[in-house]
């Protein structure tokens, strides 16, 4: 019977990945990329699993989003936008297909990320999602030279000024990981986006990367800087103020 040490795998965070990568590079010809390559420890053995394809992408590396989002945000605008991100919810409580459609032109509730993406993406129709539907946002995109890939984005509200990161052991972290796993296991989903203004702990991101590579899916992280760019784009292209969102 195998021992407990042989059954338990330890997955390192990003800082340890980088440190081990530096040590391996000094002692061998192997190069470890912390953001892509995965290694884990089982017993007294180190296993390195290099992905066949790239796993992590940014929003602007998806051509469909690169066309929608402004390439940069003036420094004078960032502080004001960032200060309002904590007021956004994933969706409002009274969401329905009809209410979400009307809210695009005549907002009725508090600030909402679903509405924000509806204002950004003319091909997306905001709607509440139920158990059988795709995430908070979904669309077909092109990524890594592949067309018609199904992207879903799961969202969590949060204040970027909060110093405490979302960890794997926290309630929010476990909810994000649970939603991620649902879509990693879904054979119709190719890319899973994680959208939150709050910082993700390196340990949580390491677990997400490890699981995405196990299922051979791609990840997109949209956090503080990316969401600020989305808000800025909506403001200037829709001629809106922060109070209008």
Digit-coded pLDDT (tens) for 62-117: 989 999 999 999 999 999 999 999 999 988 777 777 788 788 887 766 788 988 99
Does residue 109 sit in the same domain as residue 140? yes
Task: Read off φ and ψ for residue 151, nearest 5 degrees.
Answer: -105, 135
Does residue 44 sit in the same domain as residue 67? no
Judged by phi (left if over 0) then psi (alpha if -120 to 50, else beta), residue 144 lies in left
Does residue 83 sit in the same domain as residue 22? no
Q: What is the pTM of this model?
A: 0.78
Does residue 94 sit in the same domain as residue 147? yes
Count of CB atoms situated within 10 Å of the CB of 126: 23
Structural domain range at position 18: 4-49
Say what the pLDDT of residue 109 is: 66
Say what the pLDDT of residue 124 is: 87
Helix, strand, coil percent values for the chain (each to nearest 5): 40, 20, 40
Residue 194 to residue 155: CA distance in whole angstroms: 6
- Residue 107: which CATH number? 3.40.91
Domain count for the chain: 2
The fraction of the chain above a pLDDT of 70, given in percent, is 80
Does residue 107 sit in the same domain as residue 179? yes
**Residues of the chain with confidence (pLDDT) below 50:** 131-132
Does residue 28 sit in the same domain as residue 77? no
Does residue 203 sit in the same domain as residue 183? yes
């Amino acid at each position: 019977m195998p021992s407990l040490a042989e059954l338990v795998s330890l997955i390192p965070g990003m800082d340890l990945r980088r440190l081990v990568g530096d040590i391996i590079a000094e002692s061998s010809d192997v190069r470890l990329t912390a953001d892509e390559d995965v290694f884990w420890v089982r017993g007294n053995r180190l296993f390195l699993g290099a992905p066949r394809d790239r796993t992590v992408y940014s929003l602007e590396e998806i051509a469909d989003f690169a066309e929608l989002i402004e390439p940069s945000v003036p420094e004078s605008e960032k502080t004001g936008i960032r200060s309002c991100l904590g007021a956004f919810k994933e969706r409002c409580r009274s969401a329905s297909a009809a209410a979400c459609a009307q809210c695009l032109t005549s907002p009725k509730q508090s600030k909402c990320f679903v509405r924000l993406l509806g204002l950004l993406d003319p091909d997306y129709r905001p709607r509440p999602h139920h158990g059988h539907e795709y995430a908070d946002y979904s669309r077909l995109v092109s990524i890594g030279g592949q067309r018609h890939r199904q992207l879903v984005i799961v969202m969590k509200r949060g204040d970027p000024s909060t110093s405490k990161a979302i960890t794997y052991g926290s309630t929010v972290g476990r909810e994000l990981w649970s939603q991620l796993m649902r879509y990693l296991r879904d054979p119709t989903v190719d890319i899973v986006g994680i959208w939150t203004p709050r910082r993700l702990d390196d340990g949580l991101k390491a677990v997400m990367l490890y699981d995405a590579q196990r299922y051979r899916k791609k990840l997109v992280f949209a956090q503080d800087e990316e969401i600020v760019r989305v808000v800025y784009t909506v403001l200037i292209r829709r001629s809106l103020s922060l109070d209008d969102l």
